[in-house]
Amino acid sequence: MSNSKEIRSLVTNQGNIELSIKTSEIPTPSADEVLIKVEAAPINPSDLGLLLSFAADISSISTSGSGDEIVTTMKIHPALMNAMKPRLDQSMQVGNEGAGVIVDAGENVKDLIGKTVGLAGGAMYSQYRCVPAASCLVMDEGTLPSEAASSFVNPLTALSFIETMKMENHTALVHTAAASNLGQMLVKICKDDGVPLVNIVRKSEHVELLKNLGAEYVCNTSDDSFMDDLVSALVATGATLGFDATGGGNNGELPSQILAAMEIAANKTANEYSRYGSDTYKQVYIYGGLDQSPTILKRSYGMSWGLGGWLLTPMIGRIGMEKFGQMRMRVAKEIKTTFASSYAKEISFQEMLQPEIIKSYAKQATGEKYLVNPNKE
pLDDT per residue as tens digits for the range 154-175 = 999 999 999 999 999 999 999 9
Amino acid 17: pLDDT:
97
Amino acid 1: pLDDT:
61
pLDDT average, residue stretch 80-108:
96
pLDDT average, residue stretch 315-340:
96
pLDDT average, residue stretch 253-258:
97
pTM metric for this prediction: 0.93
Contact between 263 and 292 (Cβ < 8 Å): no
CB-based burial, 42-77: b 16+ in 10 Å, e otherwise: bbbbbbbeebbbebbbeeebeeeeeeeebebbbbbb
- Determine the Cα–Cα distance for residues 48 and 225; give it in Å rounded to an integer: 34
pLDDT average, residue stretch 190-218:
97
* pLDDT classification of 117: cutoffs 50, 70, 90: very high
Architecture of the domain whose range is 153-317: 3-Layer(aba) Sandwich (3.40)
Q: List, for residues 268-303, the tens digit of each pLDDT value.
A: 877 777 777 898 999 999 999 888 889 999 999 999
* pLDDT classification of 367: cutoffs 50, 70, 90: confident
3-state secondary structure 315-332: HHHHHCHHHHHHHHHHHH
pLDDT average, residue stretch 103-112:
98
Q: Which top CATH class is 3-150+342-372?
A: alpha beta
pLDDT average, residue stretch 180-196:
97
Q: What percent of the chain has pLDDT over 70?
A: 100
Q: Report the residue count for the chain.
A: 377
Non-local (6+) Cβ contacts of 3 within 8 A are 23, 24, 25, 26
As annotated, the residues of the chain forming the CATH 3.40.50.720 domain(s) are 153-317
Amino acid 272: pLDDT:
73
As annotated, the residues of the chain forming the CATH 3.90.180.10 domain(s) are 3-150+342-372
Amino acid 349: pLDDT:
98
Contact between 23 and 17 (Cβ < 8 Å): no
Amino acid 196: pLDDT:
98
pLDDT surpassing 70 at residue 129? yes
pLDDT average, residue stretch 345-366:
95
Amino acid 175: pLDDT:
98
- Closest to 186 in 3D by CA, of 201, 169, 174: 174
Amino acid 271: pLDDT:
72
| Neighbouring-strand partners of residue 197 | 173
Query: How high is the mean pLDDT of the chain?
Result: 95
Q: List, for residues 223-244, the tens digit of each pLDDT value.
A: 999 999 999 999 999 999 999 9
pLDDT surpassing 90 at residue 366? no
